[in-house]
Amino acid sequence: LTHFNPMKTLFKHIIAGALMAGSFLFPPAHSDEIQSKPNPLVLIMLGPPGAGKGTQASMLHDQLHIPHISTGDLLRENIRQETPLGKQAKTFMDKGNLVPDQLILDMLFERVAQADCAQGYILDGFPRTLLQAESLQTRLKGHAQPIVLNLDLADAQIIERLTKRVVCESCGTPYHLAYSPPKKKGICDKCSGKLIQRTDDTEAVITKRLKVYHDQTAPLIDYYNKLNILHSIDCNQPKEKIFSEVVAYIPKPSK
């Protein structure tokens, strides 16, 4: 028969509790590695409407197998599903204005908190204001490696690119009726979805989007330049050539 010693039992409980608290506060090194890559890459596609952010982000996704997150696509999905966010966003998007920062930040941060983003992700169309950029920087600091790819294209070429653009209704892949048409008219090469023209791709709304870009988003070039993480690429060249320049700025994964 073992003699019951209340002091010894209490001591055992204290030690077990301390060990549990310790593993919660200071998890073993390998638990981090399983959940997320240390310092995952966050690729930020910056540039005016129509510069090719979506095109390059989609090519990067195919090569790197990390999520391609387009705030424009997330908003359009909300509009299709007639969510409260979609209804609010539509009034801004139809006029070529930016959707208010807080709506965008809530939507984006909820998306990047999902498990598939633990290995890194590509941001297309975010950030677009100084407040969005600063909020992202605060969130990523010390946890991720942001790299900004600034896609540079003159306003004159943007109208031509956007008025002849069609996009896949299902997967968002963009095509250009002259420069990169789909193999089958009206059908997405990737997922066989229906190709449509965006409602904000009219000349009047494109002109407004360009003005908004110059006023509110272009200042981010200076912001990221000062952080020393900005790379600018001339986008007045074929998309494959741009892609080879984009890829050259992405660090090789460390073994």
Instruction: Write out the residues near ligand AP5 by the rule CB under 6 A.
Output: 47, 49-55, 70-72, 75, 92-93, 96-99, 104, 125-126, 128, 132, 161-162, 165, 174-176, 179-180, 209, 235, 238-239, 242
C-beta closer to ligand AP5: residue 143 or 241 = 241
Nearest approach, Cβ of 112 to ligand AP5 (angstroms)? 13
Nearest approach, Cβ of 102 to ligand AP5 (angstroms)? 10
**Quick check: is 128 catalytic?**
yes
Residue nearest ligand AP5, CB atom distance? 72
Q: Residue 22, Cβ neighbours under 10 Å: how many?
A: 10
Nearest approach, Cβ of 150 to ligand AP5 (angstroms)? 12
Catalytic residue among 8, 12, 76, 128: 128
Tell me the three-class secondary structure of 24-52, residue by residue: HHCCCHHHHHHHCCCCCEEEEEECCCCCC
Nearest approach, Cβ of 166 to ligand AP5 (angstroms)? 7
Catalytic residue among 190, 198, 208, 239: 198
C-beta closer to ligand AP5: residue 76 or 120 = 76
125 token code pair: 């169309």
d(CA 80, CA 178): 28
C-beta closer to ligand AP5: residue 66 or 128 = 128
Nearest approach, Cβ of 52 to ligand AP5 (angstroms)? 3
Q: Residue 140, Cβ neighbours under 10 Å: how many?
A: 16
**Quick check: is 165 catalytic?**
yes
219 token code pair: 């200042």
Q: Which candidate, 120, 87, 126, 137, places its Cα nearest to that of 104?
A: 126
Catalytic residue among 53, 95, 139, 255: 53
3-state helix, strand, coil in the chain (%, to 5): 50, 15, 35
Q: Find the angle CA(174)-CA(70)-CA(156) to the nearest 5 degrees.
A: 55
Residue 117 DSSP label? G
Which residues have a catalytic role annotated? Answer: 53, 128, 165, 198, 209
